[in-house]
Amino acid sequence: DHLYKRFAERLAQLEEAEGAFDYFTLSYRSFGIQRRSDNGLVLREWAPGAEVIFLTGDFSKCHHAETSLSYIQAQTLLNGQIYEAKYKRFIVSKETGECLFRISPWAKHVTKTLDSVTYDWTHWDPPQPYQFQHPRPPRPSSLRIYEAHVGISSPEEKIASYKNFTRDVLPRIKDLAHQFTTKTTHSLSLSRFGTPGDLKHLVDAAHSMGITVLLDMVHSHASSNTEDGLNYFDGTDSCFFHGCSRGNHSLWGSRLFNYSSWEVVRFLLSNLRWWMEEYHFDGFRFDAVTSMLYHHHGIGTSFSGNYSEYFGIHVDEDALVYLMLVNHILHKLYPQCITVAEDVSGMPGLCRSIEEGGLGFDYRLTMAVPDKWIQVLKEVRDEDWDLENIVHTLTNRRRGEASITYAESHDQALVGDKSLAFWLMDKEMYTNMSALIAMTPVIDRGIQLHKLIRLLTHSLGGEGYLNFMGNEFGHPEWLDFPRKGNNESYYYARRQFNLVDIEHLRYRQLYSFDHDMNLTEDKYGWLAAGQAAVTTLNQADKVIVFERSNLLFIFNFHPCNSYIDYRVAVEHAGKYKIKLNSDKLQYGGHGRLVQDTVFFTEPMPFNGRAQSFLVSFISITTFHS
């Protein structure tokens, strides 16, 4: 296989030139600022476009560095305590003679004051660094991800902190039986939430609870910022990126990495090792992988599934080889590591092993599913939903490649769009969510559909499940970060977890269902089981029945029709009991089913199964049209 051969050659080059990929990918320990045993500092940069480079900062004079080929190395005797000192690189460009102030690409900590538009490089070297107390938890067999943004994790109108998240949100994630993915708007903004020690304590605390922590990682493109970004670091447009137009993303206005460059590969792989070694993360969700895979970056391209779309000159082989290196190295060094790819194209082999000719990811995100739910909620009446099309969307994925499915993520929560709860109930969410008053038709329909949509996605859609923070209880507002357009307001840059703690609000009922849904999966493990077998898909009745992991799932999406003695097919003979019932009163249902009912199978073939039994189940709501 041509691609595997290129990967093997690149891996061999790393081994031969640097003494092992382990050493090569730990370059963050030799590049940037490093403290010597005599308390001085050694500085090392890759800046091929620099004529000369200086270090400036919280000391009285510049320190000069000599150039040697494309590397910059210098020594300066900054003795004493330099903890939290601020630095900048002062670079003189070979090409133009221009003097440039830059942050080192290898900077491990940056800070920003509220009145500044750029970040400061702050040397983080505490005399007593944080010591981890807890090992990484075992890799979960069922991946249930709680996608979160630390900065909006408080009900208060402010930037929330790592300490706040550790204290207030981690216990909720544990209660929901989720793993945790931290998401940031920009990699630099991590420092706005607290110190590196605070983040390490957050990860350590999560591990003490058995929670796996994944980091949202952007290696697909980079900010076009110059003073505090990688762009034009050495005065050229091609230091870390492709030069000229190839190095610019036409839609995002960002820069595109040159994955064929030895030093770019060093920098990016070392970035991953730094997060794993220094912060003890358990894996990564790689952002915008589609943009990496193709020279066209997915722009103006509609993927139909034809294999010609995935192979040919429009595929960026350098990027594919880089991703193979990523997965090989991470899984070799950290066998429990989890890698997730955000890919909308459906690239074959993305989640197959490298030895099989794949790229080696563990999971891909099935991004068509939330789009389908939003479409049907926007455009189609409940009674006209095309269940065959919905089931097809949920099950239309590459066999043998694990997928993480979600009904909604951060994308649907952002201002300009609507979460599921908002599409269902926005007209009454501020006035009629109290359980002390009778349900209105809008709230009844919204609560019942919210539960069914999430459970159907969870159980039929893939081998992993993702929820964005707050959606588990139908968060009543969208997400909008402070900006000029909203007068820098934090009103929508928060998650109102306090609503769940108010007993008489129906947000608590939605949370209770989500909690029990995840605990039921934790017990029976349907995500780790094979693809569900759909035995009933009745468009007229609006009924879906399927088996997965020795469980029988029965969904009635009809807005007003209940059914008595409805025959359903099963594989295994015996008795069946209700394990999860969305109509329970504590979930905002109407209590119309007897929870302890036992169903006995009959040897009556039905819908391709040798066994079947009769069951009664109810409509979505109690309101009849």
Catalytic residue positions, numbered? 287, 342
* Residue 555 CB contacts under 8 Å (≥ 6 apart), including other chains: 452, 455, 456, 543, 544, 545
* Residue 175 CB contacts under 8 Å (≥ 6 apart), including other chains: 515
Helices within 99-246 (DSSP H only): 162-164, 170-175, 196-208
- Torsion angle of alpha carbons 52, 57, 59, 61, nearest 10°? 30
Distance CA 206, CA 174 (A): 8
Give the torsion sign (CA, 317, 323, 326, 327).
negative
Distance CA 119, CA 463 (A): 40
User: 189 with 151: CB under 8 angstroms?
Assistant: yes
Give the HSE-up count for residue 427: Cα atoms under 13 Å, Cβ half-sphere.
Answer: 8
Q: Report the Cα–Cα distance between both ends of the chain, in Å, rounded.
A: 61
Distance CA 464, CA 42 (A): 45
User: 54 with 65: CB under 8 angstroms?
Assistant: yes
* Residue 43 CB contacts under 8 Å (≥ 6 apart), including other chains: 32, 33, 34, 55, 63, 65, 72, 73, 74, 75, 76
- Torsion angle of alpha carbons 104, 109, 114, 118, nearest 10°? 10
How many helices (H) and strands (E) would you count in the chain?
Answer: 14, 24
Phi, psi for residue 413 in degrees, rounded to 5:
-85, -15
249 closest CA partner among 295, 186, 184, 317: 295
If phi over 0 gives left and psi between -120 and 50 gives alpha, with beta otherwise, what is residue 473?
alpha
Q: Supply 217's token pair.
A: 């990682």
Task: Report the chain's C-alpha Rg in angstroms.
Answer: 27
Instruction: Specify burial of residue 239 (Cβ count, 10 A radius: 0-12, 13-18, 19+).
Output: buried
